[in-house]
Amino acid sequence: MKSIGVLMTCPMHKYLEQQLENHFNLFKLWHCNSSITEFLKTHQGNTIRAVVGNTEIGADAELIASLPSLEIVASYSVGLDKIDLRKCEEKGIRVANTPDVLTDDVADLAIGLILGVLRGICASDAYVRIGKWKDADFGLATKFSGKSVGIVGLGRIGSAIAKRAEAFGCSISYFSRSQKPFANYKFYSNIIDLATSCQILIVACALTEETRHIINREVIDALGPKGILINIGRGAHVDETELVSALLEGRLGGAGLDVYENEPEVPEELLGLGNVVLQPHVGSDTVETSDAMADLVIANLKAHFSKKSLLTPVI
């Protein structure tokens, strides 16, 4: 398989890059100093049969059209919003992602963000470091155990978050496209009703046109001035302008965010808020999970080029 051309769209996990170089003829799109078209002309775009992308750069219609020999897009992520799935279907291009292996890490971070916001972990850490504890106690925080938790999207990650929150004695409810037969949690067919009923609202659904800005002013106001919003989904799930306004005006109690609308840009207004915990989109970024995701990308590519079934097919 060493002769098979694989295009990597941007820097990812070093282990993944090494494995791709070991097994395939790897091209790196970020080495391009000109247009994609010029890059592909220089690097024989017609020999590239696979694309490996992620949540930053996937495979849009322009890239797909530039690669006449493209057979498969293997995403180093579970999200598919950076891949033009319709164009892939039209051209018969296979698509694979990396579900399951990152579920635990993302769910763990969601709980960490909740604790970070409610218990003021980041703020109290800073309080100790700058010496303020010598002058006065930090003050009271808010309890997590026993809170009502609403989850937007009860898929793999949403379900894993629910199990963890249950261990804290939280009541669980959820909003989804349809009621899940396996879940014993209260189902809401209207996201406003879910936001009204819970104290902590967690966004864990896939990003689609239907879920873009699903967290809007109405949802935020329903969650209210004591409510906490957690987003470990995608930045575009939340109307960021409305989120910032609600936090500044006290219409929302706090937020824990791992994702943003215009990454890596973060609204400057959020940086000085003590009731907000910010992470740089690291939901699945542990050594163990990153290695497992890389192995799954390689396994899907090997399966495809060996004419075997994909391990985690999307198309």
Give the residue numbers annotated as catalytic, written as ranges: 234, 263, 281
Q: Report the chain's C-alpha Rg in angstroms.
A: 21
Buried b (16+ CB within 10 A) or exposed e, 177-214: eeeeeebebeebeebeebbbbbbbbbbbbbbeeebeeb
Q: Which of 128, 121, 170 is nearest to 142 (CA)?
A: 121
Q: Which of 57, 62, 106, 53 is nearest to 301 (CA)?
A: 53
Q: How far apart are the first and last CA of the chain?
A: 22
Written as six digits, the tokens of 112 are 């960490």
Q: Give the whole-angstrom CA distance, residue 150 versus residue 158.
A: 10
Q: Give the whole-angstrom CA distance, residue 312 versus residue 144.
A: 36
Q: Which of 39, 45, 50 is nearest to 1 (CA)?
A: 50
Environment class of 308 (CB within 10 Å of its CB; exposed 0-12, middle 13-18, buried 19+): exposed
Cα dihedral across residues 284, 290, 295, 297: positive or negative:
positive
Written as six digits, the tokens of 305 are 């080029």
